[in-house]
Structure 1
Amino acid sequence: MQQKTRPIQRFAQAVSKCTAEASVYGKCIVADYNSVHKDKCVNEFMKLKNCYLAAAKGRK
């Protein structure tokens, strides 16, 4: 019998494959955390998002 993978497990696996992108995004936010605003680090966020999506689909 094959065990089902819970959504949180799939998310955790995807997150673990995107540590470099997460680090870059985090550094961008922390660089000037007193003036965080919409789209502050949009390029870094989009790279992180795309990494998560690709990893979740098993393409990374």
Structure 2
Amino acid sequence: MPPTKIRPVDRLAQAVAKCPAESTAYGKCIVADFHNVHKDKCFAEFQVLQACVQRHMGKR
């Protein structure tokens, strides 16, 4: 049986699932004042989450 190819969205979901603390911190930042969301509102939290996800995806 040939190896099955993982869809990119599934790879992303698996990587995000490995970053629960970072996801929670970003989500809490957004929800804290969701009526006033704007570009770069939670940029620092997003960068931490992004780094974690990239680490688990094997950044290309």
| TM, length-normalised to structure 1 | 0.83
Post-superposition Cα deviations, 1:11-30, rounded to whole Å, max 9, x if no partner, equal 12101101110100000011
Once residues 12 and 51 of structure 2 are traced to their aligned partners in structure 1, the CA distance between those partners, rounded to angstroms, is 13
Unmatched segments (≥5 aa) in structure 2: none
Runs of 4+ displaced beyond 4 Å: none
1:34 is displaced (CA, Å) by: 1.1
Q: Match of 2:8? A: 7
1:51 is displaced (CA, Å) by: 0.8
Whichever residue aligns with residue 27 of structure 1, its letter is: K
Identity rate, percent: 52
1:1-60 aligned at under 5 Å gives the runs: 1-57=2-58
1:4 is displaced (CA, Å) by: 2.0
| TM, length-normalised to structure 2 | 0.83
1:3 is displaced (CA, Å) by: 2.1
Q: 2:4 aligns to what SS in structure 1?
A: coil
**CA RMSD, aligned part only?**
1.4
Aligned residues between the structures? 58
Whichever residue aligns with residue 18 of structure 1, its letter is: C
